[in-house]
Chains A and B, each alone.
Chain A
């Protein structure tokens, strides 16, 4: 894994796992749990959901806004540096003044989390996979799954399938159709190109492309209109993090159904349930946090505004909380 020199770690414990330290935070794992301590408290979490959350945080480069691993632990992205916190978005911790936050340079926390995934994910476990498509995360140290935890996030420059851009997926390239999308039509569009326009006349089967995704809850960029990014993803079971928005985000449900639990971003108080079926479009306001539940593997189009103006607007409190008023 990269930047090992930035990682503070130690000898493996009796379970075979190395401990990791980030400032005042200390991380240990055993057969079942991660044990996290900081100067004013401690937290235990089941190792499987913790590793799934950690995987998303690393793969998404700390994402937009807050990535809550659970009701206590999480990260807040300042784009260049990152807060690691305990209890910061938990009203009880805040009121008891037991919350704790430390800020780290992006590269240091990234390298530490990557090293933790490298050491703590066993050979049989894939943190991106749906529950029935992976082995267990629990037990004593047993090998590693480097290929799974170092997958690069797919990001098209213009559109998937164009010459010199991200390739389409196929059986041959190692992306078979997922068992829950076996009925998705795999026919490609009929494209007639006048010679000389090969780099501009392009179309592909977007639904077939998604049906061959080997990961869950992991948006990848498929088409780019200036700063408007189509980031579709296939979802099954539960979003492993609770995403706290710092900007408006949009969901377009392309197939099947997801139920979103929406809470106040800062206190965690429930605000709404959003039930999304095929064809539904909904915004997630910039002051909420949300977690999705997908009973069958479904196709979700996550639509993001990646404008470089936004972090400044967010820091100054100028970014809109809701996309439109009517």
Chain B
């Protein structure tokens, strides 16, 4: 974790909003008032002053730090521990590599780079962009292209026939619904990463021994 900025003793000049420093002074005033009113009650403030500025750390292809399993009495393989950015870094564009699996359900880390094939999904999928920017085109096929009872998305040969539904331009932290029965195609001008909530399908890649902590 990285923390930037000092403790909340400095007040940004001209800031109209109540800053942590203001809060702190106000708390102090209230504390003195309470102390005068109730001299037997001491130390009724909230303790130390919080940081004035916090930095939220996200990962990316270019910069991520990986944690890990520190074993006391266990096998680290039990935790199936990987890092999605490390996985995407080692993947070819649009490879669907499972980074989590719970029975038939999977989360796939996808390296988005260039333009993907068209795919069709039998059930809702959810694409969370975790690095970069991804454009997602959605299309309603004229005729059903997949059995609604099937699991996992599959590739569509060539350009599917149907009606365009719309386009989403998703940046880091944005989640997009990939609706059941519909087709989608993604593109990314720069290498990006998508975390896909889906079900294991014909194109899901399972390479646990390559991506997970073993020792």
Interface residues of A (CB under 8 A from B): 132, 158-159, 162, 179-185, 187-194, 197, 200-208, 211, 222-228, 230, 248, 250, 252-257, 262, 269-285, 295-297, 299, 303-305, 307, 320, 322-326
Contact = CB atoms under 8 A, between A and B. Distances in A.
27 contacts: A159-B124, A181-B56, A189-B171, A193-B166, A194-B163, A203-B175, A206-B173, A223-B124, A223-B197, A225-B124, A230-B126, A230-B197, A252-B195, A254-B58, A256-B56, A272-B72, A272-B74, A273-B70, A275-B70, A276-B67, A278-B59, A282-B80, A283-B79, A324-B208, A325-B77, A326-B209, A326-B212
B173 A208 contact: yes
Nearest to A222: B175
Contacts of B128: 206
B120 interface: no
Contact of A255 (B56, B76, B105, B175): B56
B56 A184 contact: yes
A280 B81 contact: yes
B92 interface: no
Interface string B174-204: 1111010010000000000001011100000
B13 interface: no
Contacts of B84: 252, 279-281
A190 B130 CA distance: 16
Nearest to B195: A252
B206 interface: yes
Contact of A324 (B56, B80, B86, B199): B80
A277 B66 contact: yes
Contacts of A206: 128, 173-175
Contacts of A182: 53-54
Contacts of B54: 179-183, 296-297
B82 interface: yes
Nearest to A159: B177
B72 A273 contact: yes
B77 A272 contact: no
Closest 4 CB pairs of A and B: A207-B173, A279-B59, A275-B67, A201-B166
Contact of B169 (A190, A257, A262, A274): A190
B37 interface: no
A281 B177 contact: no
A227 B103 CA distance: 11
B82 to A, nearest CB: 5
B143 interface: no
Contact of B168 (A183, A191, A222, A225): A191
B182 A274 contact: no
A182 B208 CA distance: 36
Contacts of B53: 182-183
B102 interface: yes
Contact of B177 (A203, A252, A262): A203
Contacts of B209: 326
